[in-house]
Amino acid sequence: MIITLTTDFGASSPYVAAMKGVILSINPKVQIVDVSHSVLPQQVQAGAQVLDEVTRLFPPGTIHVAVVDPGVGTSRAIVYAEIAGGRYVCPDNGLLGRLAERESPSKIVHVTSERFFRTSVAPTFHGRDIMAPVAAQLSLGLDPDELGPRLTQLRRLDWPGAVKVANRIEGEVVAVDGFGNLVTNITREMLAGVPTDETVAIRCDEHETHSIFTTYAEQPPMTLVALIGSNDQLELAIVDDSATRMLGVGVGAAVEVCW
């Protein structure tokens, strides 16, 4: 059985090890896989994108625990959800919004049964005290219906959408990856029929580049390039450096493709 972890704790955070310790204390045979602990702090939208891009690649039945939880300790719910063969334990704050847009959940349970939590629950660390032990119990065969009552829907995010009009696409940066590349909400599908040569201009803030490339290496170091990334979304990158640092822009920055 596999349990994955996705958090905004930071790669060197001891909080990650704390969650793993709780899981392994309950099921020492489980395989734990780190998806990412470098989601930007409290950026639920970025966490939702990571879950959508990565967790669908795991075997059916994998349990995915996600903790990007700016509302920890509040009345926001913790949920168990089954989506496209994956099983998820996370706050109901929009983290599963991208996945649920792609395929409707087949089961949603409000996690309320305290007998599956740690004995003492800290109001600021539900990842360790609620989500980790619940995931571990699920890996041992716990029926998810024992976790609490059924829900009919998950909370959705207001995900920004790109707009295509005559000779122009208007979008924005929706994520920054670990290399500092700017990931936009302009998709490969939207770019169908758009020229990829120097006649197309890609603008972000006051910065501009021309052509849509296939690889980073097609341009020299320290050059701003546009390309379609592995997630089929348009990216802006600085070859061999960080676009977000060099350009001074991040999530929410407007992006325009003109031809």
170 and 199 fall within a common domain: yes
In a domain, 158, yes or no: no
What's residue 174's pLDDT? Answer: 87
What's residue 158's pLDDT? Answer: 79
In a domain, 152, yes or no: no
What's residue 132's pLDDT? Answer: 98
In a domain, 208, yes or no: yes
14 and 132 fall within a common domain: yes
pLDDT tens digits, one per residue of 201-240: 999 989 999 999 999 999 999 999 999 998 899 999 999 9
In a domain, 153, yes or no: no
252 and 176 fall within a common domain: yes
**How many domains are contained in the chain?**
2
Which residue shows structure tokens 């640092």? 245
200 and 82 fall within a common domain: no
- Of 123, 147, 171, the residue at which a domain comes to its end is 147
- Of 147, 177, 204, the residue at which a domain comes to its end is 147
12 and 130 fall within a common domain: yes
218 and 123 fall within a common domain: no
What's residue 161's pLDDT? Answer: 83
61 and 182 fall within a common domain: no
81 and 181 fall within a common domain: no
Query: pTM for this structure?
Result: 0.84
CATH number at residue 191: 2.40.30.90
- Of 147, 180, 200, the residue at which a domain comes to its end is 147
99 and 53 fall within a common domain: yes
In a domain, 186, yes or no: yes
31 and 142 fall within a common domain: yes
**How many residues does the structure list for the chain?**
259
Q: Which two tokens stand for residue 164?
A: 């295509």
140 and 199 fall within a common domain: no
In a domain, 60, yes or no: yes
The one-digit pLDDT tens for each residue of the chain (259 residues) are: 999 999 999 988 999 999 999 999 999 999 999 999 999 899 898 899 899 999 999 999 999 999 999 999 898 999 999 999 999 999 999 999 989 988 999 999 999 999 999 999 999 999 999 999 999 999 999 999 999 999 999 998 877 789 998 899 999 998 888 899 999 999 999 999 999 999 999 999 899 999 999 999 999 999 999 999 988 999 999 999 999 999 999 988 999 999 9
Paired strand residues for 234: 228
CA distances from 188 to 33, 111, 169, 185, 191 (A): 29, 38, 12, 10, 5
CATH number at residue 20: 3.40.50.10790
Structural domain of 36: 2-147
81 and 168 fall within a common domain: no
